[in-house]
């Protein structure tokens, strides 16, 4: 079904708005993928916050014209699906993970922050842990010295307590009696 001029302008405006805030775009050829598999890919993309859409290449070229992603224009040939994400690795991760299980999805190119990526570059970007995982790792590294210090103090305290001579039973009973009388 062909689009009229107003529909084309609306699509270009929608995609341009997504591209304006995007950090990563991944372009993949989807020739031969069954509709059910494509639906699964869209669900995974939606869950990761990735804008995934099949577009006419001319409309996609117009949407990226004048942006940091303009270099992708040369790769926009054939039946393509576009993955656009604000997160630096989400689009690459979703498409790469799906392409590992479905050989009909062929990653052609990508662009991260204005730098063109080939298939190997997209795979390398996809292997980077997510922002949340990186923050958790950083927090673990930052807390390691503090938790090690706390464990050392606890061990020293336990050692000092074990080195104290046991108190005689009579003294303990006398202390308990004086405390009871004081109340």
pLDDT digits (tens, 9 = 90+) for 122-154: 888 888 887 788 888 888 888 888 888 888 888
Domain that holds residue 75: 5-128
Q: In whole angstroms, how far apart are CA 56 and each of 3, 110, 155, 176?
A: 10, 17, 67, 87
In the chain, how many domains are there? 2
**57 and 17 housed in the same domain:** yes
**147 and 109 housed in the same domain:** no
**84 and 123 housed in the same domain:** yes
Instruction: Report the C-alpha gap between 87 and 80 in whole angstroms.
Output: 21
**103 and 150 housed in the same domain:** no
Neighbouring residues of 83: CB distance < 8 A, sequence distance ≥ 6: 24, 25, 26, 27, 28, 45, 50, 51, 52, 91, 92, 94, 95
**20 and 94 housed in the same domain:** yes
Does 170 have pLDDT greater than 60? no
**29 and 108 housed in the same domain:** yes
Confidence of residue 173 (pLDDT cuts 50, 70, 90): low
Does 168 have pLDDT greater than 70? no
Instruction: Report the C-alpha gap between 9 and 132 in whole angstroms.
Output: 37
The pLDDT value given to residue 182: 67
**142 and 98 housed in the same domain:** no
pLDDT tens-digit series, residues 22-33:
888 899 998 888
Q: What percent of the chain has pLDDT over 70?
A: 90
Q: Across all residues in the chain, what is the average pLDDT?
A: 84
CATH number at residue 48: 3.30.70.1730
**122 and 142 housed in the same domain:** no
């Amino acid at each position: 079904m062909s689009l009229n001029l107003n529909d084309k302008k609306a699509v270009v405006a929608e995609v341009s708005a997504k591209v304006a805030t995007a950090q990563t775009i991944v372009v993949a050829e989807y020739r031969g993928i069954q509709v059910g598999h494509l639906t699964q890919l869209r669900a995974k993309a939606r869950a990761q916050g990735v804008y995934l859409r099949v577009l006419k290449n001319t409309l996609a070229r117009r949407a990226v014209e004048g942006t940091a992603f303009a270099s992708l224009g040369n790769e926009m040939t054939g039946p393509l699906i576009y993955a656009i994400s604000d997160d630096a690795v989400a689009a690459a991760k979703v498409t790469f993970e799906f392409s590992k299980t479905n050989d009909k999805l062929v990653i052609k190119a990508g662009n991260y922050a204005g730098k063109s990526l080939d298939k190997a570059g997209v795979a390398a970007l996809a292997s980077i842990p997510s922002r949340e995982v990186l923050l958790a790792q950083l927090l673990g590294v930052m807390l390691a010295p503090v938790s090690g210090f706390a464990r050392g103090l606890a061990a020293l305290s336990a050692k000092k307590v074990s080195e104290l001579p046991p108190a005689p039973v009579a003294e303990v009973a006398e202390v308990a009696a004086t405390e009871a009388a004081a109340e």
